[in-house]
Amino acid sequence: MGKLFGTDGIRGTANSYPIIPEVAVQVGQAVGWLFKSIGDRPRVIIGQDTRLSGDMIAHALASGVCAAGVDAELVGVLPTPGIAFITRTSGASAGIVVSASHNPYPDNGIKIFGSDGFKLPDEKETEIEDLVLDGKTFGLKPANHTIGRTGYNPRAAVQYGDFLKSCVSFDAGVCFKLILDCAHGATSEIAPRIFSELGFSVEAINVQPNGININHRCGSQHPDELVERVSAERAELGLAFDGDGDRMIAVDDRGEVISGDRVLAVIAQHLKMQARLTNNIVVSTVMSNVGLSRCLKNLGIQHRTTGVGDRYVTEGMRACGAALGGEDSGHIIFAEHHTTGDGILSGLMLIDAIRHHSKPLSKLKEVMTAFPQTLINVTVKSKPKLEHLAQVQRAIKEVESRLGDNGRVLVRYSGTEPLCRVMVEGPNREAVEALARSISQAIGEAIG
């Protein structure tokens, strides 16, 4: 992993290195330079979520792009998958998203898509990183008459919305009550509009972004309010998005939270029955619940796993030609339609399964039995290699020995935050929570 890029772009506290205008200008310049050979008139799409710092970073990126002799096209607030879509379909050279996804508002980040709408591979990120960290961007300045211009695309949201609506076909006149939690983020305007235009009875919450309330006790990370509203309103379904709209967590008609793995299972069964599950493969990460593997095996579906991050899931899907993949966190990728995780599209596809089978989600979810799983985030001061920490390794091996074949352990550092994530899965809730705490304590004593 490089010094700037983590598992999902560049991320950190806004107005602190590396999320500062000076670095953003250089990143924009590097992106413009590396992709300026694509298209007759090279152009980079730049969008953002609703964070207070978004304007600062987006305009700094645009300045850098222009300095490389490439045009910058600002699309304003738009979900991350929307920027991927506009990049892919408009002939742009690349796309940049200013967002820290599900992180709290003080953070921000920079994600980059290639002209094909896919997130950049590691080697491309390394090229950008080298140009920035080695100070080489200062030598990437064209003559004055070839400096780029900045423009704005006011129709980007409409174009993206039309695309999403084209991915599904619902019968008119069927009552379906839907609650949306938009996390005061990038889906706040577009998600309620799309579902309403498709004929659903929509109630939207957390749709008043003010720059500092994004993801605050709401959205996919905090669905408690959504659970209450679905139960109180007796809605058929609740959908919670994260700040940049690439994740979706569902709440079923009985008020139970349905994570990404169970959504994957429901949709995998649905696509297989419709003969749309290309190559009969589903891809997920090593963090996926054991119950997903067992479910897919029972359905006669192959299961492939990748490293953590929707970018790696997408790469794994492309390698084996899979139509469906995702993460338990709520990133779900539909290769038939899109190049990246899309929360709104995931919601539409889940509704498609519910309507097609004429069963509520509380019934459809029974296709998968989830193993009790707990995840503890341990704040760490540094990130030494875990295999070099004897105390931590002893704790992990002891837990693995106690679980045997009835569970698993996964310990890894976050790629975007100063955290070590401890995940334990096993036959009962109390046991996995106690075992996870024992490993977390060892980590805290070693590097906390």
pLDDT, mean of residues 324-330: 95
Mean pLDDT of the chain: 93
Got the DSSP string for 294-305? Answer: HHHHHTT-EEEE
Q: How far apart are CA 90 and CA 94, in angstroms?
A: 10
Which candidate in 53, 93, 101, 288 is catalytic? 101
* Angle value at C-alpha 397, between 396 and 400, nearest 5 degrees: 90
* Cis status of the peptide bond prior to 18, with omega within 30 of 0: yes
Type and span of the H or E element at 421 = strand 419-425
Q: How confident is the model at residue 146 (pLDDT cuts 50, 70, 90)?
A: confident
Q: How confident is the model at residue 414 (pLDDT cuts 50, 70, 90)?
A: confident
Q: What is the pTM of this model?
A: 0.89
Q: Does the domain made of 5-157 have the CATH classification 1.10.8.60?
A: no
Boundaries of every domain in the chain: 5-157, 159-257, 258-344+354-367, 373-447
**What's residue 143's pLDDT?**
65
Give yes or no: 101 in active site. yes
Q: What is the pLDDT of residues 224-239, one digit of tens each?
A: 999 999 999 999 999 9
Residue 22 CA, distance from chain mean position:
26
| Residue 251, SS3 per DSSP | strand
Q: How confident is the model at residue 3 (pLDDT cuts 50, 70, 90)?
A: confident
pLDDT, mean of residues 32-42: 82
Q: How far apart are CA 443 and CA 395, in angstroms?
A: 9
**What's residue 1's pLDDT?**
41
Q: How far apart are CA 315 and CA 310, in angstroms?
A: 9
| Tokens, residue 150 | 């900045």
Of 268, 284, 209, 278, give the one whose Cα is nearest residue 244: 209
State the fold for domain 258-344+354-367: Alpha-D-Glucose-1,6-Bisphosphate; Chain A, domain 3 (3.40.120)
Residue 31 identity (one-letter amino acid): V
Q: How far apart are CA 269 and CA 387, in angstroms?
A: 38
Of 328, 191, 330, 314, give the one whose Cα is nearest residue 249: 330
* Angle value at C-alpha 353, between 188 and 164, nearest 5 degrees: 40
State the fold for domain 373-447: TATA-Binding Protein (3.30.310)
**What's residue 319's pLDDT?**
96
- Give 123: exposed, middle or buried? Use CB within 10 Å, 0-12, 13-18, 19+: exposed
* 146 CB neighbour count, 10 Å cutoff: 11
Which strands form 9-13's sheet, in the order they lie side by side?
5-6, 9-13, 107-114, 94-98, 43-48, 71-77, 150-152
Instruction: Please check the confidence at residue 273 and state whether its pLDDT lies above 50.
Output: yes
Phi first, then psi: what are they for 108, rounded to 5°?
A: -150, 175
* Homologous superfamily, domain 159-257: Alpha-D-Glucose-1,6-Bisphosphate, subunit A, domain 3 (3.40.120.10)
| Tokens, residue 303 | 């299961």
Whether the domain at 5-157 and the domain at 258-344+354-367 fall into the same CATH topology: yes
DSSP H helical segments within 72-199, as ranges?
80-89, 122-133, 156-166, 190-197
